[in-house]
């Protein structure tokens, strides 16, 4: 079992459509930790930590997002195996 951390930048119609709640709910159900936040320019940024299989499955969900969203791009901006700063839950950063 490989433990990884991946950070994504999601752009499109992703703010004001429940994207952060969608991300938190699914991450917690899958046992993925980390955080999600809105960025001032209208994108969403998220950090996912967990078993590689679960993190990749979560990334797949982010490509679609909630029904009210329209994801244009899901960009991987960081990937690390066995990160030092491991989160204990998944939270929305405001």
38 counts as catalytic: yes
Residue 12: Cβ within 10 Å count: 17
Mark whether 28 is an active-site residue. Answer: no
Structural tokens at position 55: 């993190």
3-class DSSP state for residue 75? strand
Q: Which of 38, 63, 82, 94 is catalytic?
A: 38
Among all residues, which ones are annotated catalytic? Answer: 20, 38
């Amino acid at each position: 079992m490989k433990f990884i951390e991946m950070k994504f930048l999601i752009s499109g119609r992703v703010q004001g459509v429940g994207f952060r709640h969608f991300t938190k709910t699914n991450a917690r159900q899958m046992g993925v930790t980390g955080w999600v936040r809105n960025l001032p320019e209208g994108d969403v940024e998220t950090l996912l930590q967990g078993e590689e299989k679960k993190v990749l499955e979560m990334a797949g969900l982010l490509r679609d997002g909630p029904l009210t969203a329209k994801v244009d791009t899901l960009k991987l901006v960081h990937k690390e195996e066995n990160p030092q700063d491991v989160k204990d839950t998944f939270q929305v950063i405001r």
